[in-house]
Amino acid sequence: MRIQIDEITSVIKQEIGHYREELERSQVGRVIGVGDGVTQIYGLSNVMAGEMIEYVESGAIGQVMNLEENSVGAVVLGDYLKVKEGSEVRGTGNLLSVPVGNAMIGRVVDPLGRAIDGKGEIVTDQRWPLEYTAPGIAERQPVNQPLQTGIKAIDSMIPIGRGQRELIIGDRKTGKTAIAIDTIINQKGSGVICVYVAVGQKESTVATTVERLRESGAMDYTIVVSAASSDAAPLQYIAPYSGCAMAEYFMYTQGKHTLCIYDDLSKQAQAYRQLSLLLRRPPGREAYPGDVFYLHSRLLERSCKLAERRAIVPAGQPYRPGGANGKTYIGVPGKHEAQHDLKNHPGHEVVTDSTSGGSLTALPVIETLEGEVSAYIPTNVISITDGQIYLEPDLFFAGVRPAINVGISVSRVGGNAQIKAMKKIAGSLRLDLAAYRELEAFAQLGTELDAATQRQLDRGARMVELLKQGQYRPYHVIDQVISIFAGSKGFLDDLPISKVADFETKLLKFFHDEHPEIVKELTDKGELTDALDAKLKEYIGAFKGRYVQQTGTKPAAK
């Protein structure tokens, strides 16, 4: 065998040419204990809390949770069975982050942003940290734009606004996820980017949900983050933060409106309790650690409606952060300040930053046990959010679906997040239902009722029937207005209850087919003027006469 001297010489010269005298510094530690997804590491003296670390032999990544005197407590994000005692661990110097961007839309990913839908790898070079500081007061603006759920009972009496945090709470199997999925389906064509975070659910349940979203065309604007019940507790713990980070990217960088659903935070709290006990943190009430309130508050405080940023720039020039004269004006007062300062800057103009003014709406889900809303985690999340939608098992089993208890449910944003037409008719609806609930129990005693009380009972029973709604059938807000208008003005009072749903369906078809100008006027104005009010009464009355004649409906027995 001959040695090729020329070839060896050229390789050596090439290596010498590429040589750079650089030293790579990295923190290295060793695993001194591992079990149940939690590791104790010796040697990483300079790591940060929340820092991402790498287990060299197994290729797994982890997150630092405890900083102790002689060791570091960390959780393994993924399969911890490959991590052995004595394994080498390296600090990365980076906080945990996930891939974000338009490439994520329409995909099903795990909490680390890796595709699990079998459609190939997601290609994006943008990342966003899992933990991100919530915007301050000056960077927010009031919640005043509606986020329509398509559910009549919610949009009329418990309105949700863009940037709000509205809790969905109730026992298992009472329709919590159904409300969340209907809300996502109803965002079609509204420009809202949706993120659905499934925590601790069966993989088959998540697959069914994704298929339903795909059939409705909702996956075109939705990201699904899944941490299944079979996944390790650390993945279930970081899943809501991961989904929030993906939504935040669109809000901060593109000024878009986003919706994030956390289904559900009870299971995330249980996963965090498991990790905390394994890390030997002191247990508190119900064995949850002392910082379990902070677990949810730092997540939900990131939901907001961002104020618009404005600046004074030379006319015709694009906006750059800081503005041409180093001034940026945030929020509604900033508009007036900028206009005032404009007098001192001839040839300049006030420009609004197109990436500002987005929103992140959060719909966290909490599961109660036997209706116990005063338990630790439910009370925590109720105190953080801007209202709650309470689903009652008794109503659900009585056939009232969605099973919303209007008495306990509330939205603290109120009428600011409703179109004016809905706001005008919804007040009487809540009163009708409240009066009905009070009188219903009294009427069961079998006592004779006066005519006024009987009218209230008749009205209430038909309004309850009117607010029933099938799953995956969200209503457009204008259809809701027409439907509730007919009920609150007494047009259904003498119809048999069994005919209410059929009457509503045919009434909406009548308006869309024969009076589209009314639907258009309501859509354009969003307001119920006296003239429109009179027209609606006239047309609904005419339709009712025709309906009774065609169907042979007899007035309900009193």
Which residues are within 8 A (CB) of 399 and not within 5 positions of it... i.e. 6 or more apart? 468
DSSP 184-222: HHHTTTTT-EEEEEEES--HHHHHHHHHHHHHTTGGGGE
What's the rounded Cα separation, in Å, for the pair 257 and 359?
5
- Residues in Cβ contact with 514 at an 8 Å cutoff, skipping those fewer than 6 apart: none
Q: Which two tokens stand for residue 376?
A: 């630790």
Phi first, then psi: what are they for 63, rounded to 5°?
-135, 135
For residue 52 the two structure tokens come to 């991402």
Query: Helices 265-278 and 233-254, interaxial angle, to 10°?
Result: 120
- Contact present, 225 and 107 (Cβ < 8 Å): no
**Pick the catalytic residue: 412, 437, 455, 546?**
412
C-beta separation of 476 from 412 below 8 A: no
* 462 a catalytic residue: no
Cβ-Cβ contacts under 8 Å for 322 (sequence gap 6 or more): 311, 328
Closest alpha carbon to 413 in 153, 86, 164, 67? 164
Residues contacting residue 48 through CB under 8 Å, at least 6 positions apart? 64, 95
| Cβ atoms 420, 533 nearer than 8 A | no
Q: How many residues does the chain have?
A: 558
Give a three-class secondary structure readout of 147-191.
CCCCCHHHHHHCCCECCCECEEEEECCCCHHHHHHHHHHHCCCCC
Separation of alpha carbons 482 and 542, rounded Å: 14
Report DSSP state, residue 306: B
Maximum distance among all alpha carbons in the chain? 116
Q: Which residues have CB under 8 Å from 78's CB, separation 6+?
A: 60, 61, 112, 232, 235
Question: What does the alpha-carbon distance between residue 529 and residue 535 come to, in Å, rounded to a whole number?
Answer: 10
Q: Do 226 and 110 contact (CB within 8 A), yes or no? A: yes
Looking up tokens 């006990």 gives: 277
Q: Are 500 and 524 in contact (CB under 8 A)?
A: no
Cis preceding linkage at 117, omega within 30? no
Cis ω for the linkage preceding 402 (within 30 of 0): yes
Catalytic residues: 412
